[in-house]
Structures are given as structure tokens and as C-alpha cells.
Amino acid sequence: MSQHLISLLLALPLFAALVVLFTPRQMVGFIRGITVLAMLAELVASFGLLDGHYETAAMQFPERHVLVPTYGITYSVGVDGISLWLVLLTTFITPLATYASWTHIGTKVKEYAICLLMLEGAMLGAFFALDLFIFYVFWELMLVPMVLIIGIWGGVQRIYAAVKFFLFTMVGSVLMLVAILYLVAQYKAQTGHYSFELAELKLLLLPLKAQLWLFAAFALAFAIKVPMFPFHTWLPDAHVQAPTGGSVILAAVLLKLGTYGFLRFAMPLFPSGSHRMGPFIAGLAVTGIIYGAYCAWQQQDVKKLVAYSSVSHLGFVMLGIYSITSHGLSGSILQMVNHGISTGALFLLVGVIYERRHTRNLDEFGGLAKVMPAYAAVFVIVTMSSVGLPTTNGFIGEFMILAGAFMSAHLGISGPLCAFLGATGVILAAVYMLHAVLKMFWGPITKPENEGLPDLTRREGIALAPLLLLIFYIGLFPGRMLDSMKASVDTFASEYTNKLAQGDRHPTTRDILVVGPQTAALPQPASPLARLDAAPRKPAVRAVADVVAGGAP
Amino acid sequence: MTASLTGSMASWVPLMPLLLVAIGGFALLVVDALSDEHAELATLSSVVLFCAGALAAVLATGKGLVPPPSGVAPYLAVGQMSQFWNATICCGAGLSALLAGGYLHEHALERGEFYALIVFSAFGAMVLAAATDLLSIFIGLETMSLGVYSMVAYRRGSPRAAEGGLKYFLLGSFAAAVLLFGSALIYGATGHTDLAGIGQSVRDGHANLRLLILGMLMLLSGLTFKVSAVPFHMWTPDAYEGAVTPATTFMSVVVKTAAFAVLLRVILTCFSDELSASLRTGWPGMLAPMAAATMILGNFAAARQANVKRMLAYSSIAHAGYILVGVVTLYSGDEQVRQTAVSGVMFYLLAYTVSNVLAFGSLIALGSYAKEAVSYEDLAGAGRRHPLAALPFVLGVLSLMGFPPTAGFLGKWYVFSAAIASGNDLLWLVIVGVLSSVVGAYYYLRVIVYLFMKSPEPGAAIAVPMRSGYVVLALVLSGYFVLKMGVTPAPYIDLALSAASKLG
């Protein structure tokens, strides 16, 4: 069973979606029940993933089936210390978001349930995929349910937001598709056969110029998804217009696919390109931290405030990733999970108040702590987690990221500067979050509408309790998570650094590429690396290499 | 002559799909004359076309494929590649006939000759796709086109149909004349009318170069007119809009497939030498900018339309652009890349056929008598009122958009990966292609937006879905293939590759 665990996890939501599809739409209660049950079963099944050997960096629970032999497309999936926690975050947040937001969805419950289930399946697929083709399929597949969720069940300007979200993501992903095709064509030229598998493509050595372009295409797709400044403009629209359940999943999981994409694909595939653009990306990350925080501070709409805070928080994550230190990387992965928990909780809380008052304007509130004490308490705790107060989960992540950036050899002299500027982001976070808390909960009750507001209901309490628990659990005992990601993170960092050094030894492999047809005629060695060693024995290769080196042929 | 035509019985097997369709066409005429019930004509014509298509699909794998009677060989190729085209054409034509069975009945336009026109046009398309001689190219082209001209003008009372039909007829005749002139020049330059002979003479350098280049340009212009590539696309929106929707479907899939088939064949047999296939001096220098212009203009013009049928017309122009990228890839000197490109174009056309039938079929299904779905406004909220009727439309536009895991995505992926594998020279074309397909995503998404996210204006006329077993069958069949080719593409890719490996 355990060797098919990942396929089971991918099939379960799809199967549940089919069941819902063939259920009469009048049976709303049954549809809601079966959806949440399926998601809970998914959560329980995903705990099985914890049973892997994460003390090594190898992929756990791997599965591999060739789909299209002619073009080397394989269904290749697996999980390691980097993706494990993001997968668990997905299976954890989705049922909560679904359960908590049912009351907001009055119409077309059936379609909503199908969208959520498909979305969960696609997100998990993207986290598990180890084949670029499969990854791209899942990556695109996530888009449709999310666009439908925003566009059908969203707010007043939902169509504008949905179309903007769709088009932004499309621009990035089609260019990534071109890059994938180019990469595979290079692999074919060097080895004589096709492969879309990450493990194979990672072995490819590419000239710096190609790496820069390919990295740029991948990075654009992922940066739009993260979203990094200045590609973030779709985010506030999408978040504000989406229904609560959609917002929670969008913030908690979907955005993580951008940062995860950098870690899993863009950086290991094109280390030299990534290295060259590293300072630039770190600069954008720091800009995003401060700009996002500033924008959040200026918002009157609580949901928009939380949306901009995401831009700021994910700036931290990107900064940690580009420190390429064990600390920074672990902190980033941890912070991805933290952001999922705290921002997910914030969106749920915003949904709670919106459902009662049908406004999210800060000026409409004030003194809510008196009428909704439990709500206020939860809100403040989540705020503390978001701000990064010690003993909450946010503190560990942000601290590790800033420490990583400070010590980073890759960022060099700009590392401490990035860390310093990033730290101001922490202060700004306290400013904008406490500003919102102040306006919402403290002071006298200015509006008569707020006087009779009911406190958290049992349903809302049940949805929020696990999140609160996790905020403190991760804050006090982060060791379990950090231990299991250590091996993968260290391997990531050392492979990245090694490949950079290797890239310097082979400044260009154009000589190999030019003689593609000849090398294709050779008997097949195990890997393209082996071919690199074998190739220069051929006289034709040497001649071309001379030309490349500037000598006469 | 008769002696050479009578081979063993087995040697007629590769011609069976063609003969089946021809005989079926005559049978339709007889049945139409003798009976007064029309509905069974749709059944008869689609059964004939699907049988021929299924037979061709089997032959395309190479099983039971024997050399044809020797008299046929100089004019028609009936090898694996032709059989693949036959299968695609019959599939598109059969699905169009099914759509016609529902549409014509619903809109009280049922007249027997429509089905005969579809079948004879399909026959012409099959001849065109298999033609290996300038003469058979012209005969096939005209047989196909005459049927299509009359199908466009089929709705006799409608000025739009008359306008579209006349425009298509006049421009089409002009294009046919250009093609014929080009053929004459090529004959003058090489002394051959058979494509293989022309190719030999071009490779040997015996041809009169000036005449040849002019002839080649005119021939290619005539053919790109039929695939509605920019700048020869002017007729497309009017003809597509004026025609009854099943005829539009037929034109957009069958005519395009046949024209691309012959374009591929002409380029592969006649103009694949280094000089004429060079990016700077040869036909790629003409087709590459055309492909870019077609993708850009097709997509941007489609995004501006308020009429869904017209949008689909412009989108079919854009798709011609994507396929042209695959055709331009044939400039490559690498045999493997060329095969990938040819099989990519074949796969794309098959995928495009089923996706486009799905889109047009859903448009037909969403309207009924006097309440036809034409504009986006007509579609507003239709997905909420009739989710089952709207669902195929969503699948259809997602496939046309090139969204995984549908046939359309695999098609784009295939064609573009061939172009990239040919080297860096076509990278710009691929980037233009994918970026313009984002524009495409906008207008295809608009269909989904109107179906599911908008409500009709109060008091506005709303489209009411029709009930027809024919249309449902066509939607189910094409929807099945859209998903099947997207999820398990391997058999189709292998079929296209093996058919592409032999130019026959």
C-alpha cells in the first residue's frame, strides 16, 4: 500500500469529485458532508507520508510509470523534506477552509465542492511531481478551479479579479512551457533521447547564457505566483474578491507553489543563472517585504490588508531561499507553513466578521473586544503569530531567515543589508497588524450595528482551534519539522554550490550541443555527465571546441 | 490503362476509404430522391463517414496496407500518411454531419442535399490530402471547395449567408486561379506535374529558378488561402458567420486539415532541398512571418468580437498560425526534427478537429429554433440554467486554449516542441505563439465567464438549448476524444509518428 500512497492521495480527491458530480444537487447536506469527509480522509492518509526516511535527501514513496515512451514523459512522483510539510499544509488547510466557509456559499454547493476537490488534487499533484511535464499539467490544472471559485462565488468585481488572476498566471506559465521545451530539446541534443524527468534534466550542463534565459522564464512564472514585487498586482484583487474558502486556500497553499517552484525546479535546474540573478531577486524580495508592509498599513479594507501582508511575508520566504544557507532555507520552508497557518487563520477571521457585518472597512468597527471577546482573543493571537512574536511559529521562521541572510555567503556583502532591511519589515508588520487590531477591537463601540454581534460560533471555533494549536506547537517545538527537512535542505544547498563550481569548470557546453547528431549515434552511456566525458574524444568535437575557444578550425 | 487498373482485389483495400465515401455520396442522393424523411440521411452520411474513417485509421497503422493499383500511384498516395488524413477528415466530416442532423432539423432548414454536399466535399478533401500530382491537387481542391461554397450559401433566404457564400466563392476562385497559375509556372520550370518529378528536378538544379520561385510562391499562396492564414484570411469571418453552424464546423476542420495535408506534402516532396527550405531564401522566409502575423492578428481580432461564432472564426485563423509554426519547422535539415514536426502537425489537426467540433457543437446545442445562441450575451447564465449543455463548451474552449490535460494542449506542446528542437531560429516564433495564446486564453475564458459568471440582462432574449440525439452523440464523441488524446496521448502520438515516417 505504502508504495502507492502518493497515487492514492492524488486519486482520492478526484474520486470524491466524481462522487459529488453524480450526486443530485438537492442533497446539499450530503455533498457538504462527503466533501469534508473526503478531505479529512486525505489528511489522515497524508499522515502516512510522515513514515518516510527523511534523514536522507532521497525522494520518499517514489513512483514512476512511463506515459509517453517516445517523448520521455513519465508519471514520476515523490516527496522529500522540502515538499513533505507543504503537502501536509495542503491537506490540513483545505478541509478547514472548506468546513469553515460552507455558510458563505449559498448557491451551487455542488459545483463549489467539485472545484475545491479538484483544486486540492491539482495542488498536491504539483507538490509531488518530479517530471516537468506532469508538473506543468498540475500547475495549469490548479488555475481553472481557482478562477471558477473567484469568478462564480466571489464579490462584486469577481469577474475582473478572476480574469486578471488567470491572465497573469498564464503569461508566466506559457513562457515556462517554452523554457521546459527548450530544456528538453537540449537534453535530447546531448543524450539522443527525450526525458522530462527532473532528476535527469538536473544533470544537464548548460551554457550560462541559456541558463540565464531559462531561469528567467521559470522565475517569472514562479514570481507571479508567489507573488513577488512587482508582479503582485493580481493578488489584492483576487483575495478581496474571492470567497473566504478561496482566499484561505489561495493564500495558504497556492502562493507556496511559487516559492516551492524556485526550490524544486528553477534553482536546481539552472544554478548558474539563478546565482547571477540571485542578488536581483533578493533585492526584489526585500523591496516586496517593505512595500507590501507599507501597502498593508495604508489599507482600510481588512482583507486587502491581509492580502498585502502576504506580499510582505512571502518576500521573507524568498529572501531566505536566496540566502542558500541551511538556516535560511529551513526558515523559508518553515515560514511557508507558518504563513499558511497564520494567514489562513486571518482570512477565516475576516470572513467571520464579514459574514456578520457585510463590510470589511476598519472604520466600521471599533470596540469589538467587548461584544466578541473570544473572536478578539483569537484574532490577537493570530496577529502575534503573523507579526512574529516569540513562542509563536512566526518568530522561528523569520528569525532563521534573517539569520540566514545575514550569514549568507551567496549574498555576500549585501546579506547583512538585506537582513537589516528585512528586519524593518518585522517592525512594519507589527505596525500594520496592531494598527488594525487597535481599530477593530479597542476603544469605544462607535457603531450601533456592532453592539449585538454574536461571538464565534461552534463551527468557527472548531475550524480555528487546530490553527491556534499549531501556532503554539510549531512556535515551541519546531525541532520535529526542522529535523525532517534538514537532509533535503543541506543536500539542496551543497548541490547548488557544487554545481556552481562545476559550471565554472565547464563555462560552455556549446561544443557538445553543436555535435548533437554525432553524439546521438554513440552507444548510450548512463547519463549526460558520462557523455560529457566521452564526447571530447571525437575529433569533430575538438574542432568545434577550438572554434568556440577562438582558435582557427 | 484498364489493364493497369485491375490489380488483385487486395490492392484496392487502401483505396476503400475514398471509394466508400464516394459510393456513400451517390447512395445519399438516391435515398434522398426516393424518400421524404430527411433525418435518416444524417445517420446514413455519418455512418458512411465514420466507417471510412475507422477503416482509414486501421490502415494508418500500416496493417493490411498493400500497394494500390499501379494506375493510381502517380496521382494519389494512399500510404499511412494519407490514411491518417483520411481518418481525420472523415472524423471531422462525420461529426459535422451529426451536428447537421440536429441543427437543420431544429431550425427547419432540413434539405437532403446538405448531407450529399458534406460527403462529396469530404471526398474532395480526401483526394486533396492524398494528391501527389498538380492535377489531382486541383481536382481535389475544386471538388472540396464547390461543395463548401454551396454549403456556406445554404440558408437561401439570409443575406448574410449569400454575402458569405459570394465572398468565399469569388475569393476562393481567385485563389484557385492563383494556384493554377503557380502550377503552370512550376510545370514550365521543371517539365513535371507530378510532385516527385518536380522535387527531383528541383534537387538536381535543372529547374528554371525564376519561374520556379514565382510558381512556388503562387502555389503556396493558393494553399494558405484555404487554411485562412493572414493575409489571405479576409473571407473567413464572413463565410464562417454566414454559413449554417454545421457548415462552419465542416469548413473549419475538414478544409483546414486537407489544405495543411497538401501543404505538407508539397513542401516535403518538392521543396525540401537546402536552397528552397532555407530560412532566408526559401519558403520558410515567407511562411514564418505569415505564421506570426496569423497568430497575432487571429488572436487579437478574436478578442474583439462580440459574436461567438465570429470569435471562433478568428480563433480558427489563430490556430492556422500555430499549425504553420509546425510547417515552418520543416526547414530543418535534421530528419528526426522534420518527422516530429510532421507528426506534430498531424496530431494538432486531429486534436483541433475534435476540439473545434466540441466548441461549435456546444454552440449549436445551446440554441434552439428562433433562439439561436450567437453572441456572448446569449450565453449569459446559460451554464447556470443548463449545466449539462454548457459543460462540453467549457471542455471545448479549454482544449482550444491549449489547457492541460486536453487534446489541444498536447497539440500545442507537440508543434512548439518540434519548433524548438529545430534550433534557436524559430524560438521567436514560439514565443510569439505562446504569448498570443495568452490573448487567446482571454477570449476563450470569456465564454466560461458568460456561461457561469454572468446573468442575462433583464428582458433580454435568452438562448434555449435544443434537444437532439445527433448533437448529443457528436458532443459525446468529440468530448471523449478531447479527453482521451489529452490524458493518454501515447497511442495517437505513435500513430502520427509512424504515419509521418513514411511520406505516402
Residue-wise pLDDT for A6-45, tens only, equals: 899 999 999 999 888 888 888 888 888 889 999 999 999 9
Task: Note whether B442 contacts A167, CB cutoff 8 Å.
Answer: yes
pLDDT at residue A108, as a whole number: 82
Task: Note whether A166 contacts B441, CB cutoff 8 Å.
Answer: yes
Q: How far is A356 from chain B (nearest CA, A)?
A: 25
Q: Chain A contacts of B493, Cβ < 8 Å? A: 68, 70-71
pLDDT at A212 over 60: yes
Complex ipTM value:
0.89
Task: Note whether B490 contacts A67, CB cutoff 8 Å.
Answer: yes
Residues contacting B325, CB < 8 A, separation 6+: B291, B295, B415, B416, B419, B426, B429, B430, B433
Q: Chain A contacts of B398, Cβ < 8 Å? A: 144
Task: Note whether B453 contacts A181, CB cutoff 8 Å.
Answer: no
Q: For residues A452 and B38, which has the higher predicted lDDT (pLDDT)?
A: A452
CA–CA dist A53, A68 (Å, integer): 30
Mutate which of B413, B439, B485 to test chain A, going by most A C-beta atoms within 10 A?
A: B413
Closest chain A CA to residue B398? A144
Q: Chain B contacts of A514, Cβ < 8 Å? A: none
The pLDDT tens digits of the residues spanning A233-267 come to: 899 888 888 888 888 999 899 999 999 999 999 98
Q: How far is A20 from chain B (nearest CA, A)?
A: 15
Q: Which of B438, B488, B489 sits opposite A171 (nearest CB)?
A: B438
Q: Chain B contacts of A69, Cβ < 8 Å? A: 490
Q: Among residues A77, A13, A87, which one has the least CA distance to residue A46?
A: A87
Q: Which of B441, B454, B494 sits opposite A167 (nearest CB)?
A: B441
Q: Among residues A344, A479, A63, A181, which one has the least CA distance to residue B413?
A: A181
pLDDT at residue B17, as a whole number: 92
Task: Note whether B445 contacts A147, CB cutoff 8 Å.
Answer: yes
Residue B442, all three cell numbers: 482571454
Chain position carrying cell 442522393: B29
Q: Among residues A385, A406, A407, A411, which one has the least CA distance to residue A397?
A: A385
The pLDDT tens digits of the residues spanning A511-541 come to: 444 433 434 333 444 444 444 433 333 343 3
Residues A497 and A513 in one domain: no
Residues A88 and A31 in one domain: yes
Residues A113 and A202 in one domain: yes
Residues A212 and A280 in one domain: no
pLDDT at residue A538, as a whole number: 37
The pLDDT tens digits of the residues spanning A353-383 come to: 888 888 888 888 888 888 888 888 899 999 9
The pLDDT tens digits of the residues spanning B67-105 come to: 888 888 888 988 899 999 999 999 999 999 999 999 988
Its pTM stands at: 0.89
Q: Chain A contacts of B437, Cβ < 8 Å? A: 174
> Can you state the angle between helices A271-298 and A302-323, rounded to 10 degrees?
150
CA–CA dist A191, A512 (Å, integer): 10
pLDDT at residue A372, as a whole number: 86
Q: Chain B contacts of A147, Cβ < 8 Å? A: 445
Task: Note whether B398 contacts A144, CB cutoff 8 Å.
Answer: yes
Q: Which of A268, A290, A317 is the last residue of a domain?
A: A268
8 A C-beta contact, residue B172 and residue B223:
no
Residues A341 and A231 in one domain: no
Residue A458: which domain range?
A: 270-507
Q: Among residues B109, B94, B112, which one has the least CA distance to residue B31?
A: B112
Q: Which phi and psi (to 5°) does residue B39 adopt?
A: -60, -35
Residue A76, all three cell numbers: 514520476
Tell me whether B501 touches chain A (CB under 8 Å). Answer: no
Task: Note whether A181 contacts B398, CB cutoff 8 Å.
Answer: no
Q: Is B64 exposed, middle or buried (0-12, 13-18, 19+ CB in 10 A)?
A: exposed
CA–CA dist B467, B418 (Å, integer): 42
Tell me whether B214 touches chain A (CB under 8 Å). Answer: no
8 A C-beta contact, residue A168 and residue A228:
no
Interior angle at CA A401, CA A418 and CA A262, nearest 5: 90
CA–CA dist A248, A226 (Å, integer): 15
Cite the DSSP H helix spans in A243-270: 244-249, 256-261, 267-269
pLDDT band of residue A502 (cuts 50, 70, 90) is confident
Closest chain A CA to residue B430? A178
Residues A303 and A387 in one domain: yes
Residues A78 and A220 in one domain: yes
Local structure of A63: helix, strand or coil: strand
The pLDDT tens digits of the residues spanning A55-98 come to: 888 888 888 988 888 888 999 999 988 999 999 999 999 998 88
CA–CA dist B261, B264 (Å, integer): 5
The pLDDT tens digits of the residues spanning A166-182 come to: 999 999 999 999 999 99
pLDDT at A160 over 80: yes
Tell me whether B346 touches chain A (CB under 8 Å). Answer: no
Q: Distances from the Cα of B292 to the Cαs of B347, B394, B433, in angstroms?
A: 21, 27, 7
Closest chain B CA to residue A141? B404
CA–CA dist A383, A381 (Å, integer): 5
Residues A430 and A367 in one domain: yes
Q: How far is A520 from chain B (nearest CA, A)?
A: 11
Q: Which phi and psi (to 5°) does residue B380 adopt?
A: -55, 125
CA–CA dist B240, B310 (Å, integer): 7
The pLDDT tens digits of the residues spanning B112-126 come to: 889 999 999 999 999
Closest chain B CA to residue A516? B334
Q: How far is B497 from chain A (nearest CA, A)?
A: 9
Q: Which of A71, A159, A175 sits opposite B449 (nearest CB)?
A: A159
Q: Which of A140, A177, A188 sits opposite B434 (nearest CB)?
A: A177
Q: Which of A148, A167, A184 sits opposite B438 (nearest CB)?
A: A167
Chain position carrying cell 459574514: A355
Residues A252 and A306 in one domain: no
B178 CA to centre of own chain? 21
Residues A455 and A533 in one domain: no
CA–CA dist A328, A129 (Å, integer): 24
Interior angle at CA A34, CA A29 and CA A37, nearest 5: 125
Q: What is the domain partition of chain B in residue ranges?
A: 2-501
pLDDT at residue B504, as a whole number: 63
Task: Note whether B435 contacts A174, CB cutoff 8 Å.
Answer: yes
Range A52-59, long-range pairs (CB < 8 A, 24+ positions): A52/A79, A52/A84, A54/A80, A54/A81, A54/A84, A54/A483, A54/A484, A54/A485, A54/A487, A54/A488, A55/A487, A56/A487, A57/A81, A57/A487, A57/A488, A57/A490, A57/A491, A57/A492, A59/A130
Q: For residues B326 and A481, which has the higher predicted lDDT (pLDDT)?
A: B326
Q: Among residues A550, A392, A402, A528, which one has the least CA distance to residue A473?
A: A392
Q: Chain A contacts of B405, Cβ < 8 Å? A: 137, 141
Local structure of B313: helix, strand or coil: helix
Mutate which of B385, B403, B420, B494 to test chain A, going by most A C-beta atoms within 10 A?
A: B420
* β-bridge partners, B368: B371
Local structure of B295: helix, strand or coil: helix
Task: Note whether A171 contacts B413, CB cutoff 8 Å.
Answer: no
Local structure of B194: helix, strand or coil: strand
Q: Is B490 exposed, middle or buried (0-12, 13-18, 19+ CB in 10 A)?
A: middle
pLDDT at residue A529, as a whole number: 42
A434 CA to centre of own chain? 27
Q: Which of A68, A147, A178 sits opposite B431 (nearest CB)?
A: A178
Q: Which of A140, A163, A185 sits opposite B420 (nearest CB)?
A: A185
- Average pLDDT over chain A reads 84
Question: Which residues in chain B come in under a pLDDT of 50?
Answer: 1-5
Q: Which of B437, B445, B494 sits opposite A174 (nearest CB)?
A: B437
Q: Distances from the Cα of A40 to the Cαs of A9, A33, A517, B202, B306, in angstroms?
A: 12, 10, 53, 69, 45
Task: Note whether A167 contacts B427, CB cutoff 8 Å.
Answer: no
Question: How many independent structural domains does chain A possess?
Answer: 3
pLDDT at residue A521, as a whole number: 39
Residues A300 and A242 in one domain: no
Q: Which of B387, B404, B490 sits opposite A141 (nearest CB)?
A: B404
pLDDT at residue B375, as a whole number: 84
Q: Which phi and psi (to 5°) does residue A230 adopt?
A: -100, 25
Q: Among A216-220, A489-493, B277-281, whose mean pLDDT is lowest?
A: B277-281
Residues A209 and A197 in one domain: yes
Residues contacting B486, CB < 8 A, separation 6+: B399, B404, B405, B406, B407, B408, B409, B410
8 A C-beta contact, residue A142 and residue A126:
yes
pLDDT at residue B38, as a whole number: 61
